[in-house]
Homo-oligomer: A and B are copies of this chain.
Amino acid sequence: MQDTVRKSKVLAIEAAVAALVPDLSESLWVGGMHMHNVPMALVRECIRQGKRFGTLYAAPSASLAADLLIGTGAVDRVVCGYLGFEHLGLAPVFRRAAEEGSQIDFIEADSGSLILALQAGAWGQPFAVLPSGIEQTDLPKVSPMFYRQLEDPFTTGRSYAVEAVRPTVALIHCQQADEFGNGIFKGSRFVDRLLGLAAGTVIMQVEGLVDNNQVVKYPLQTGLPGFRAAAVVQVNFGCHPTSSHRYYNFDDVHLRLYLQAASTEAGFKSYLDEYVMQPVDQEDYMRRVQNQDWGAITGEAP
C-alpha cells in the first residue's frame, strides 16, 4: 500500500537556509557566472542568518555574491579563479581586502583547474592532473599548496595536479523546478549542472514552480534531476541585480550603485545594511531597489 506520499522539497527561503545550511560549513560554491543566474536571494539570506563558510570557490566567474561574502567576513578563505564585474569593473571589496590586507586567505588559482577539481570531486577522483602549460605561469609558484607536481606513470614526465573539490554547500538558480527539485534552465547552464551533480547540499532557487507532469513531458529539458536538490525555494526576481536567463536581464544601474558604494568601507556597510541586513524578505528588498519598475521587467517564460 502506498502509505506515504512523495514529499515536496519546496521550502520558504528562510527555512531552507536555516535548516540546510550549517552555521559553519566547510565550503561553498555559488552558481551562475558573471552577472547571470546568481542566486542572490539565497546569498543574502545566508549572510542575514550569519552563516559562515571555510572556503569559498570563486570560479569560473564570481561577482557580487563573492564580494558580499568577503565583505561580511562570512568566509575564511577564497580560492580565486575570477572575481570581478566584467565590463562594469573590478570587485571593490575583494580589491580592498587584497590591496590593504585582510583576515581572509586568498589562494591564487585559475578557472580551468578549479572546474577540473570540481569534476574530479564529482567522480570521486582524489585529484585532477592538469594539461601541460600551467608551469609556464606564475600560479604554481604563488600557490604551491594548490598546484602540486607528480610523476606521469605513463611517460615519467612531470605534471601538475590539483586536489579534488567537493563543495559542502552549493547555491544554484534554475528558472523553474517542480516541487521535487527537477530544475529547468531556460538559458545557459554555465557550470551549474556539474556543480549540482557534485556538491554535498544543493539548495535550488527558482523563479517559478511548474507541475511535475510538465517535467515528465519534456524530460530532456531537465537541467538538474530532483534527487540532487535538498530544497527548492521560490523567490521573485531572486537573482537581482544579476540576470535570470530568459526572465530578466541584469540591473546595471543597481550593480553600478553597488560598485560606487562599495568603493569605500563605509559605503559598503551602508549598502549591506540597506539591501542585505535590513530587508525582512525579498519583497522588502525589492521595495528598497530604487526606480526599478519590476512589473516592466517581468519576463515570462513559456
Q: Quick one: which of A120, A153, A161, A187 has the most chain B CB within 10 A? A: A153
Stretch of A33-41, A69-77, A127-135, A202-210 that contacts chain B: A127-135
Residue of B nearest to A133 (CB): B124
A126/B126 in contact, CB under 8 A: no
B131/A129 in contact, CB under 8 A: no
Given A123-B131, A159-B126: A151 and B154 within 8 A (CB)? no
User: How many chain A residues have a CB neighbour from B under 8 Å?
Assistant: 28
Q: Is the C-beta of A155 less than 8 angstroms from some C-beta in chain B?
A: yes
Q: CA–CA, A238 to B131, complex, Å?
A: 37
Residues of B within 8 A of A130 (CB): 125
Q: Is the C-beta of A163 less than 8 angstroms from some C-beta in chain B?
A: yes
Residue of B nearest to A160 (CB): B153
Q: CA–CA, A127 to B129, complex, Å?
A: 7
Mark out the residues of chain A between 72 and 123 whose CB falls within 8 Å of any chain B CB in the assembled complex. Answer: 116, 119-120, 123
A154/B163 in contact, CB under 8 A: yes
A interface, by DSSP: helix, strand, loop or mixed? mixed
B131/A152 in contact, CB under 8 A: no
Q: Is the C-beta of A148 less than 8 angstroms from some C-beta in chain B?
A: yes
Residues of B within 8 A of A150 (CB): 150-153
Q: Quick one: which of A125, A148, A155 has the most chain B CB within 10 A? A: A125
A126/B129 in contact, CB under 8 A: yes
B126/A128 in contact, CB under 8 A: no
Q: Is the C-beta of A49 less than 8 angstroms from some C-beta in chain B?
A: no
Contact with B along A133-165 (1 / 0, CB 8 A): 000000000000000111111110101010100
Mark out the residues of chain A between 226 and 277 whose CB falls within 8 Å of any chain B CB in the assembled complex. Answer: none
Measured between C-beta atoms, what is the minimum distance from A136 to chain B in Å?
A: 14
Q: CA–CA, A61 to B187, complex, Å?
A: 32
Residues of B within 8 A of A132 (CB): 124, 126
A128/B131 in contact, CB under 8 A: no
Q: CA–CA, A88 to B29, complex, Å?
A: 45
B124/A152 in contact, CB under 8 A: no
Residues of B within 8 A of A221 (CB): 220
Mark out the residues of chain A between 177 and 224 whose CB falls within 8 Å of any chain B CB in the assembled complex. Answer: 187, 220-221
7 contacts between A and B (CB under 8 A): A124-B132, A126-B152, A127-B129, A127-B154, A129-B161, A150-B150, A150-B153
6 pairs of A and B residues whose beta carbons are closest in the complex: A124-B131, A148-B153, A150-B153, A154-B163, A125-B129, A126-B152
